[in-house]
Each structure stands twice: as C-alpha cells, then as structure tokens.
Chain A
Amino acid sequence: MAYSEKVIDHYTNPRNVGTLNKDNKNVGTGLVGAPECGDVMRLQIEVDDNNMITDAKFKTFGCGSAIASSSLATEWLKGKSIDEALAIDNMDLVEELALPPVKIHCSVLAEDAIKSAINDYRVKNGMEALELPKSHH
C-alpha cells in the first residue's frame, strides 16, 4: 500500500515531537491505544489563561499513518481554543492525509488523544470531565 505524500512528509519530518511536563497544571496529557494493538499515542497540550492552546507535543508508537495523524493533530491544535480543539473530527485528519479505509482507526485514535488531553487539563483545573462519545472502534 502506498502512502500519500502528506503522510510521508509528516512521518519523515514529524512536527512537535516531544514531552511537556505532565505535572504542570496548564498541561493536559492524553495517552490512548495499547501496545498489544500496535498503536499508542501520547498527545499533550499546554493551555494559557484564556483557554488557548499555546503548545502541543506528541509521541506515537505505531505505523506511519498513526505517526502522521498525531503529528498533524499537534499542528492543528496550536493556536486553537479548547472549544475549537474539541471540534476536530477524525474525518478531517483522514481527508487531509488521504488515509485509506484500513488506516481510519489511526485518525480515530488521534481524535481520542485530543479529547483525552483536554479532559486531563479540565480535571486538573477543577472542571468536570466532558462526556466523550464512546470510541468508534
């Protein structure tokens, strides 16, 4: 199966690889997936007082599409408000990266990671966790 140019670009030059201090109050961390399933994503956001995402980092264990999905997600997150970030849909990632059907689960995982990071931030800052729609996988 051939990868799209965008997947190859993100895979070869992944954006925002790294680690934020998960103990900081303004950092939200989402860790989703499982090693047994062949993909684990960790996505982190740093949020300022105006609920704007000022930084985003990721690390991913998985195939090229999983790495590209999380790399693209961090790019999209930076500069967005939390509410805007919640509106990111996995199908937007699928479209942008031209993922084939067999790789759609990679984008679902990235969406889960975003929501999970936001919830971590919310809980840390005294807000209640959002009810997340059950994973589609």
Chain B
Amino acid sequence: MELPIYLDNNATTPLDPRVLEAMLPYFTNKFGNAASRNHAFGWVAEEGVDYAREQVAKLIGCTEKEIIFTSGATEADNLAIKGVFEMYADKGNHIITATTEHKAVLDTCKHLEKQGAKVTYLQVKEDGLIDLAELEAAMTPETILVTIMYGNNEIGVVQPIKEISAIAHKHGALFFTDATQAVGKIPVDVNADGIDLMAFSAHKMYGPKGVGALYVRRKNPRVKVTSQMDGGGHERGMRSGTLNVPGIVGLGKACELCRLEMDEEAKRLSALRDKLETSLNTMEESYVNGNTQHRLPHVANISFKYVEGEGLMMAMKDLAVSSGSACTSASLEPSYVLKALGLSDDLAHSSIRFGLGRFTTEEEVDYAIENTRKAVNHLRDLSPLWEMFKEGIDLSKIEWAEH
C-alpha cells in the first residue's frame, strides 16, 4: 500500500489507464481537427468523436445528437442555465434552484438575477433533500427552468429526480440537473428520470480534466439553448470551438467503463464506505451528515465534534480528504452546504468528507479508519472544548468572544 491514500474522489478522480490508452493516439498521429471535412486527418478525428458520442449517449440513455461537448461541467451548467434563460425569455424569467447547489449553478443564477431573472433558492431539509411540496408551491406560470443537482458533491445525497422533473413538467418548465457527481456512479437515464438538460464531467469518472458534456433533449420536448460561445458553429451551433478530440475520446471511454462496471463497483464501494462510516461513527460525538438512504455509494461526510477540520486533516497526513472547515477556504466561512442542512458552525468546522473511488482498496480503508481515529483522539487531547464537554460544561452557555 502506497501513502498518502487518495480519498478525495469527489474533487477529482485519477485517470483510468484504459482511458489514457484510448486517448493517446489522438495526441499524436490522430491529431486532426474533427471539423476538417476534406481529408483523412479530419475524418479520423471525427470518427473518434462520433464513437465517443455514442459511448456517452449509451451511458445516460439518450441519442448521440443530444450530446454537446464542453470544457467541463461548469461550462455545461453555464450553457444550460444562461442558454435556457435567453432562449425562453418570452416565456418567463423565473428559475428555481436550491441552496445546496454547486457554485457553478448558484453563481450563474446570481449572474442572471442582474439581468432580470427571478430566482427562487429552495431550502433543503435536515437530510439535504429538497421538499417537493415547497418546489410545487414555488412554481409559477413564469417558471421556465428548475435546476436541481442529481447528487451533492459534499454530502452525496441524491435528490428525488423523477419527482422533481414531474413537478417541473406539470407546470410547463424545463428541468436541468447538474449530475457531475452522479453520472457514472449510479444509473442515470434521462428518459426514465425526465431530464431535459444535464451537465457532467469526465474527470469525476476516471476520465481527463477539461472535458465534459451537456445533454440537451431533442424530442418531447425539443429543447434549445442560446449558445454562450460564438464562433465556428460547432456542436450544432450550441458550443463553438475546436473540439478537444483526445479529451472527448477519453470521456467516451470513461463513460463506457462506468456503464460496464458500475453495478459491481457501486456494491463494492458502498460496502467499503459503510465499513468506514460505521467504524468512525462509533466514536463518541461523531455525526454523519446528510441522508443515508438516498445517496451516492462512495461518499461519507462525518463531523467529529470538538475538533477543527483543518487541524484534523493535518493529523491525517497520510490521507487526502477534504473538510467543510472554514480554514480550508479563502473565505473563512464554513461549508454553505453543511450550514444549509442546519448544522451549527462548529459542526461544519468539524466535518471531513471521505470520497472513495475505483482504485480504493479495503486495505486503504482500514488504514484510513485507524489513521482518522488516532487523529481525532490526538486533536481531542489538545482541545479545550473536548475537556469542557467531558467535565459536563454546557458550551452553549459560555459567552464566547466572537472575533
């Protein structure tokens, strides 16, 4: 076993060697521009792109013509939300989203508010799921788009996508989902789920960075987005720019591997995740964040009360994980996702996200459990709050000097 151990697979995943192998020729002898229609170099590149489009489409149950390649999920989020807002401006200006969305969605919505959009930010319940009745109540005749993520990047909860899309459609709105964390990890079928637009990214599913896709429905209804990048009219005019052929080939291969291996992989990962979570949750004053029934198989988000996340990660020096602690961000604000669940600031500061992946072994998980336990105990030995808690002092009764 090699150290450090990578348990941050929600941030990014390593490239699968099989994906790399598929990509390599497109960096060298198959270097053509997929838009060059007049010679073999272009045809070969286009063939690679077409095949990748099939592989991607197959994973999410759509047709090849419904895939728009982008530079990643952030671009796809921007294209979907801004593109729908502009395209359907005569229909309405209301967008519904949730407070726990990724910044790529939230900040895009905020951007549109400056351009006249009305945006409703739904609160989530304690378990991180949205309240369907609240969504229904928020729908208006002006609502053109509902944008709710598939699986959350911090806590892994999976939203009731079918129910959400049904509500959106009942009121004549489109449904977009940022499925970056879900595609390739759990079965996602755009028809069964009633999805009109969907963003996802290669580097979260063992593909390369810098490539992703937007699914745009072509039938029932036919959805259109206004392009956000003008130029040569690539991707059916919705996203100009020379195609990233090696990246797209990599995304295609990554999708194919996920499709073939997902079922078994999800079982293996959820067993490992449960082992990790159960072992750590037996520690005193530790709390699992988010719904534990409806969630991705590979994520565990746990708060260890009375220790601070960044300090804790420093003690877990052989583990690469992430924390909702303020100290890990430039803003000095703890995770807005955890706060949206109603977690107090101190519990948000104390959280650690473990993200398992395709290359995580049981040996690594066992090591992570031991390492984390030791780190938490070490930090608690140093913590005045832990000492006070152990003495039975009610910390909420102390007048802290806010700073």
Binding site for B on A (CB under 8 A): 3, 11, 14, 17, 19, 31-42, 59-64, 66-67, 102, 105, 109, 112, 135, 137
Contact = CB atoms under 8 A, between A and B. Distances in A.
A59 B384 contact: yes
A14 B51 CA distance: 58
Interface string B218-240: 00000000000000000000000
A33 B400 contact: yes
24 contacts: A17-B381, A33-B400, A35-B345, A36-B344, A36-B400, A37-B345, A38-B310, A38-B345, A40-B384, A41-B384, A42-B384, A59-B383, A59-B384, A60-B383, A61-B384, A62-B308, A63-B308, A63-B310, A63-B311, A64-B314, A102-B332, A109-B403, A135-B403, A137-B403
A3 B314 contact: yes
B92 to A, nearest CB: 40
A55 to B, nearest CB: 17
Interface in B344-403: 344-346, 349, 381-387, 395, 400-403
B155 interface: no
A36 B346 CA distance: 5
A66 B403 contact: no
Contacts of A66: 308, 311
B381 A37 contact: no
Interface of B: 306-311, 314-315, 325-327, 330, 332, 334, 344-346, 349, 381-387, 395, 400-403
Nearest to A70: B382
Main SS at interface, chain A: mixed
Contact of B382 (A35, A36, A60, A102): A60
Nearest to A62: B308
A33 B382 contact: no
Nearest to B325: A38
B330 A102 contact: yes
A135 B403 CA distance: 8
A100 to B, nearest CB: 11
B390 to A, nearest CB: 11
B401 A63 contact: no
A131 to B, nearest CB: 16
Interface centre among B306, B382, B395, B400 (most CB of A within 10 A): B382
A120 to B, nearest CB: 13
B311 A34 contact: no
A-B complex: 9 closest residue pairs judged by Cβ atoms: A34-B400, A35-B346, A36-B345, A42-B384, A63-B310, A59-B384, A38-B349, A64-B314, A63-B327
Contact of B384 (A3, A31, A37, A137): A31
A64 to B, nearest CB: 4
A36 B385 CA distance: 12
Contacts of B401: 32-34, 112, 135
Contacts of B314: 3, 11, 63-64
Of the listed residues A61, A63, A64, the one surrounded by the most CB atoms of chain B closer than 10 A to its CB is A61
A63 B387 contact: no
Identify the interface centre among A33, A41, A59, A137: most chain B CB within 10 Å of its CB.
A59
Nearest to B386: A61
B327 A38 contact: yes
A62 B349 CA distance: 9
Given A59-B383, A63-B327, A35 B311 contact: no
Contacts of A109: 403
Nearest to A135: B403
A14 B402 CA distance: 26
Given A34-B400, A34-B401, A35-B345, A59 B395 contact: no
B325 to A, nearest CB: 6
Contact of A37 (B344, B385, B395, B402): B402
